Amino acid sequence: MRPGIKAMAQYDYDLFTIGAGSGGVRASRYAANLGARVAVAEERYLGGTCVNAGCIPKKLFSYAAHYGEDIGHAAGYGWSAAAPAFDWRTLVANKDREIERLNGVYEKLLSGAGVTLLRGRATLVDAHTVEVDGRRISARYILVAAGGWPAVPPIPGAELAISSNEAFHMGEMPRRALVVGGGYIAVEFASIFNGLGVDTTLLYRGEHLLKEFDADLGIFLAGEMENKGVHIRFRSNIERIVRAANGGALQATLADGAALEADCVMYAIGRAPNTRGLGLENAGVNLAANGAVVVDAKFQSNVASIYAVGDVIDRVLLTPVALAEGMVVAESLFGTGGRGLDYEGIPTAIFSNPNIGTVGLSEAKARERAGGIDVYRTTFGSLRHQLTGSGEKVLMKLVVDRKTERVLGVHMVGPDAGEIIQGFAVALKCGATKREFDATIGIHPTIAEEFVTMREAVG
């Protein structure tokens, strides 16, 4: 730890963190391990969005949604079974039990590192003071890691809709669901509902799904999702929602005048930084138009004592990124200060059905940056489905700098895409070239081997 930290006795703590999510917990634990006196305040649940209303429960629901399809596919391999029955309440109860276990794990991680945990809402009083349930606490540094919150548009009847937060706690599974959005949360929940047997419609105001990703991914995914039974309506948006007079179904009226009935309308149109009401204005912290805390490369705000990481800075809304950001802050404040974070080449997965895995530049971004590129792309039916008759296809794509042969992007739609792309993310981080991909022996028969056997550029 830097000299002089322990001498700052005029403060109650060296670091006070607002929010016990991924970034806040990692920064707090690491800072405590470096010798800092640390406290964390959390008003909701330990583990933040990822553990409670994001990555973990979503992946559990995604697993659940695949089982019905897997049982159906098993017939092609000689298995026969009675028609499967699904119980929503069992899934929710078992999910809740796992989340409760993880909440306990996070509490032990903090206490084991000597971090003081305060259960309550913290707000800033000034650059070195926070207030928690009427108690004022001083700190040399304050870290804002309060996460994000789902956005729902202010249309008539918006209170009748749910977000991803509520989707994990519904008492009954809907028979019909409308999911609004075209990003990764929307396609994941549309796939989950559809896989669990819900009549699912996905509404999106844009022209194709996943506009922030390589264009081929969203286009290909839409086709596969429709083949699995999801109804997708592009260039569509809801103007108002009403409930039927008998208290039954919801009716969503679209901008074109069409009306759709559903038991559940879920908005998945993005998340907003959860900074409202934190008192950041009391300390003079600069915020972006959407409420995000404006920070520099070391995650320091314009106020020298106040830092921010994770969804509140609205850079890359991924748990591993928040963890890495938290490490940078702790190291900068209480260590040698040499740690940094490179946002290039961050891999990500989308747990739609089928899955998406992607790392590096999209084709469009690569053309902007590198100019001359070669694109390698293949679609095929995997060996697994040659006996199932499902017709499911896989898309795999490489984007290569023509001049240097360096692989700039690796993209996939298909089973276990995230598991496959993780390894290729290491290759891209190391600057691998297409020639090195070609020289790598594939594992046969696997889907992944296609990435090292594509020889002919298609664009």
Told to judge if 444 belongs to the known catalytic residues of this protein, a careful annotator would answer yes
The closest alpha carbon to 141, from 257, 275, 32, belongs to: 32
In this predicted structure, what is the pLDDT of residue 189?
98
For position 198, which CATH number holds? 3.50.50.60
Do 253 and 172 sit in the same domain of this protein? yes
Which of 219, 240, 269 is where one domain is finished? Answer: 269
CB-CB contact of 77 with 204 (8 Å): no
pLDDT of residue 83: 83
Q: Which domain holds residue 21?
A: 13-149+272-334
Residue 459 covered by a domain: no
Is residue 265 domain-shared with residue 276, that is, in the same domain?
no
- Residue from 183, 177, 226 nearest 208 by CA: 183
261 shares its domain with 379: no
Residue 132 shares a structural domain with residue 46: yes
- Do 17 and 145 have their domain in common? yes
Q: Is 291 exposed, middle or buried (0-12, 13-18, 19+ CB in 10 A)?
A: middle
Residues 262 and 278 in one domain: no
- C-alpha dihedral over 180, 184, 185, 187, to 10 degrees? 60
- The pLDDT tens digits along the chain (459 residues) read 454 454 456 899 999 999 999 999 999 999 999 999 999 999 999 999 999 999 999 999 999 999 999 999 999 999 998 888 999 999 999 999 999 999 999 999 999 999 999 999 999 999 999 999 999 999 999 999 999 999 999 999 999 999 999 999 999 999 999 999 999 999 999 999 999 999 999 999 999 999 999 999 999 999 999 999 999 999 999 999 999 887 789 999 999 999 999 999 999 999 999 999 999 999 999 999 999 999 999 999 999 999 999 999 999 999 999 999 999 999 999 999 888 999 999 999 999 999 999 999 999 999 999 889 999 999 999 999 999 999 999 999 999 999 999 999 999 999 999 999 999 999 999 999 999 999 999 999 999 999 999 999 998
Same domain, residue pair 42 and 88: yes
What pLDDT, on the 0 to 100 scale, is given for residue 371? 83
Q: What is the pLDDT at residue 4?
A: 44
pLDDT the model gives residue 7: 44
Nearest to 137, CA basis, from 42, 43, 40: 40
Residue 220 is predicted with a pLDDT of: 98
Residues 31 and 93 in one domain: yes
Q: What's the number of domains the chain is made of?
A: 3
Same domain, 220 and 236: yes
Annotated active-site residue in 66, 169, 231, 444: 444
In a domain, 323, yes or no: yes
Are residues 308 and 327 located together in one domain of the fold? yes
Does 358 share its domain with 284? no
Cis geometry, peptide bond prior to residue 84 (ω within 30 degrees of 0): no
Choosing from 306, 334, 362, the residue where a domain stops is 334
145 & 282 share domain: yes
**DSSP labels, 330-350:** HHHHHS-S------TT--EEE
